[in-house]
Structure 1
Amino acid sequence: MFKNPNFKRSAGLNRLLFTFLLIACLAVVTACGSGKKEAEADSGKIKITTTIGMITDIVGQVGGEHVAVTGLMKAGVDPHLYKASQGDIEKLDQADVIFYNGLHLEGKMVEIFEKMAKKKMTVAVSDYVDHSILRSGAENGMDTEYDPHIWFNVKHWMKATECVRDSLIKYDPEHTEDYKKNADAYLAELEKLDAEVAEQIQTIPDQSRVLVTAHDAFGYFGQAYGIKVMGLQGISTASEAGTKDVTDLRDYLVEHKIKAVFIESSVPRKAIDAVIQGAKEKGHELVIGGELFSDAMGEEGTTEGTYLGMIRHNVKTIVEALK
């Protein structure tokens, strides 16, 4: 029988190749196992999913090292129109705790929160604000019971902070003192901010103290800090401004010689531009006083990407334009 002289060599190479592949596979399995262990180690943190950036910021401030926070709505996102993706549903489903604003801000996600609440802690931070002092949605031409933009009164946002603190303590009593300490420090910052905003707005002359924006998001801001607020659209951006809305606002601005209007980072500026053009045709020059953050904060990693930084940016922009 004929024997291939290279047979032993081929067999040896095959064995060597098999050994190499086995080692490679073991390395991959080991790496995967290492990654799994790291994930398991990280799972010691409470997995929290939030909606708007302002709530994401609170949870990070109060939860500190004990939480891993995932925010669904990033810079420039309008929560009124936001629809949850399949990926968002998965993040909500995987979370230990869910925080959202409530008061119908995340209007297209209400049913999702109701379902989630049946199987895990799902908290509306607005629940801690006395509803008797909230602005009426119905009076502002909307089908919502209340105005949801509570973060524009810093005192209301302090209540939201207390809600997050108490919810985390309830879920994770072992770290109660940490949550209390973190919340106390953040509440002190918010109290300082509240006084700062009031002082700055009062530097605007009375006749110029009129804030005109794309939609009625700043009502609580106006109530708290003594500035007249006018929004071209209603509380929600779900309904578009009509021709009469544009005309009425234009006439008011011309009559009262208001010199600046403001655009919002999460709302298209088309309607505001129509007001500016209409005023120009009436012989009144209106300028864009700047871009304000209303329903969304700035980019992550920036000063405006925090609640404190967002509010300070808005106040500085408003004061410089109207003063």
Structure 2
Amino acid sequence: MSKVDSRQIQDMILSRQSYSFAKSMNFTNYKLFWMAILSLSFFSSCTDTPNEQEAEEPFVSSVSIVTTTTQITDLVKQLTGGHCKVHPMMGPGVDPHLYKPTARDVMSLSTADLIVFHGLQLEGKLGTAFETAGLSRDKIFSISSVIEPSALLFAEEDEGKFPDPHIWFDPTIWTTCLHGLAARLSSLLPEQKVLISEKVDQLTREFQAVHEWGAESIQRIPPSKRILITSHDAFQYFGRSFGVEVIALQGISTATEAGLADRSNLVDYLKESKVPCIFVESSVNPKALQQIGREAKVALGKALFSDALGAEDAFVFAADGKKHSLASWSGMMIYNIQSIVEGLVPSEQ
């Protein structure tokens, strides 16, 4: 991973767009945008089933917000406090790299006052459609757009070098995203500006406390054992924030399967390094890493949350006894860190 300047970022994003989507489809107006969204949803709409997040919170305002990923849904719901109607596109366990919008999504998108998406190609073709459709800036907001280029990490993929989109694993970056989203929501809901400001302050303190607790917890792992091996390359920001080396079977996107050589190399590495535990992910097919674990005779830890948060009715307890939903950023981070420490700290400690 390395840093790249803002001009290179624009060039790389445009390059990836042209490679994966914009190359074959030139969005010149709003009508073509919806044709693209409909085409993405065609196959999934035939068997459209209610989203796991479809049970929405009570709302007062008629304002409608569509959110793509579970991480974004968490922030929007917490900041607005039920004062608008939130339509989540993705639920727990859903991989945003591979997601196809449903007919229900298309209907929500067509009537939304604001569409909040992640960007940095996390949502694949869907994000590209948002960015290239020429929609009004008042209609869409990319949560990653507020990040300074120097804060981003980059990964080598088959098509070139691209920004790593898994920014929520860096507490400092995610706090920046929180503040940027709050500013956008305050302009959409001016009557709720005070409430949103108070919630931002509360969440900022909470994120900082989780960061400090997490850093202290990771110190329990012997330095030589601070190696996190996962299904796909989603934890580099986590590694940078908490001083952990990260190794993954797949790249930053799950769209491409790991090759036989990648699997063989990881098995050899595990046998040599004697890493005590490897981790599958809740939103990624676990079979490949499970097979590698069997071949290398390495234990599997608890499944980590990577590209999607957990269910709203599942909880984890922090060190201070406070209960956090796994559908929240704090709950996800606490659960992941507890699971990583449990898997990597020697049993005799």
- From the superposition, tell whether residues 44 and 210 of structure 1 become closer, same or farther in structure 2 (CA, over 3 Å): same
1:320 aligns with 2:337: no
> Any idea what SS the aligned residue of 1:229 has?
strand
Normalising by structure 2, we get a TM-score of 0.76
Specify the alignment match of 2:306 in structure 1.
Answer: 294
Distance across 2 between alignment mates of 1:47 and 1:198: 38
Deviations 1:92-118 (A, max 9, x none): 112111111110000020343133733
- For the Cα contact (< 8 Å) 2:230–2:248, is it kept in 1? yes
Contact 1:93–1:116 under 8 Å retained in 2: no
In structure 2, do the counterparts of structure 1 residues 222 and 121 end up closer, same or farther at CA, with 3 Å as the change threshold? same
Q: Which runs of 5+ in 2 are unaligned?
A: 1-57, 315-324
Which SS does the other structure have where 1:238 is aligned? Answer: coil
Aligned to 1:51: 68
Offset at residue 264 of structure 1 (A)? 0.5
Matched, 1:185 2:166: no
How far residue 274 of structure 1 moved from its aligned partner, in angstroms, is 2.6
Q: 1:195 aligns with which of 205, 209, 212?
A: 212
Deviation at 1:167, TM superposition (A): 0.2
1:117 aligns with 2:135: yes
Tell me by how many angstroms 1:300 deviates: 2.4
Aligned counterparts, 1:37-116, within 5 A: 44-114=61-131, 115=133
Shift of the 117–200 alpha-carbon distance from structure 1 to 2, 3 Å rule, reads farther
Q: CA shift at 1:143, angstroms?
A: 4.5
> By how many angstroms is 1:43 displaced?
6.4
What SS does the aligned partner of 1:264 have?
Answer: coil
Aligned residue in 2 for 1:136: 154
Q: Does 1:145 align with 2:167?
A: no
Q: Would the aligned equivalents of 1:152 and 1:221 in 2 still touch at CA under 8 Å?
A: yes
Alpha-carbon distance in structure 2 between the residues aligned to 1:183 and 1:56: 15
CA RMSD between the two structures = 1.8
Instruction: Write the distance in 1 (CA, Å) between the matches of 2:154 and 2:188.
Output: 32
Q: Corresponding residue for 1:311?
A: 333
Change over 3 Å in CA distance of 1:144–1:117 after alignment to 2: farther
2:326 match: secondary structure: helix
> 1:232 pairs with 242, 249, 271, which one?
249
- Give the count of matched residue pairs: 277
CA 1:142/1:198 → structure 2, altered by over 3 Å: closer, same or farther? Answer: farther
TM-aligned CA deviation for residue 141 of structure 1: 5.0
Ranges in structure 1 where 5+ consecutive residues have no aligned partner = 1-40, 280-284
**TM-score (ref. length: structure 1):** 0.81
- SS of the residue aligned with 1:247? helix
AA aligned to 2:302 is: G
CA displacement at 1:67 relative to structure 2: 2.1
Q: C-alpha offsets along residues 214-270 of structure 1, whole Å, 9 cap, x if unaligned?
A: 000001000110001011000000100001111111111111111110010110112
Letter in 1 for 2:332: M
C-alpha separation in 2, matches of 1:226 and 1:142: 29
1:152-204 C-alpha deviation (Å, 9 max, x unpaired) = 11111101111110001122223322211111111111111111111111110
Whether the 8 Å contact between 1:246 and 1:274 is mirrored in structure 2 is: no
CA contact (8 A) 1:141 1:234 kept: no
CA offsets, 1:302-321, max 9 Å, x none?
22122111111100000001
Amino acid at match of 1:51: T
Query: Residues 142 and 235 of structure 1 are in contact (CA less than 8 Å); yes or no, is this contact kept in structure 2?
Result: no
- Give me the whole-angstrom Cα distance separating, in 1, the residues matched to 2:275 and 2:152: 28
Contact 2:96 2:307 in 1 (8 A): yes
Q: Post-superposition shift, 1:82? A: 0.5
> 2 CA distance for matches of 1:312 and 1:90?
35
Q: Which has the larger radius of gyration?
A: 1
Overall identity of the aligned pairs, in %: 39
8 Å CA contact 2:59–2:83 kept in 1: the answer is no
- In the aligned structure 2, how far is the partner of 1:116 from the partner of 1:71? 23
Tell me the CA shift for residue 66 of structure 1. 2.0
Structure 1 stretches of 4+ moved >3 Å: 140-144
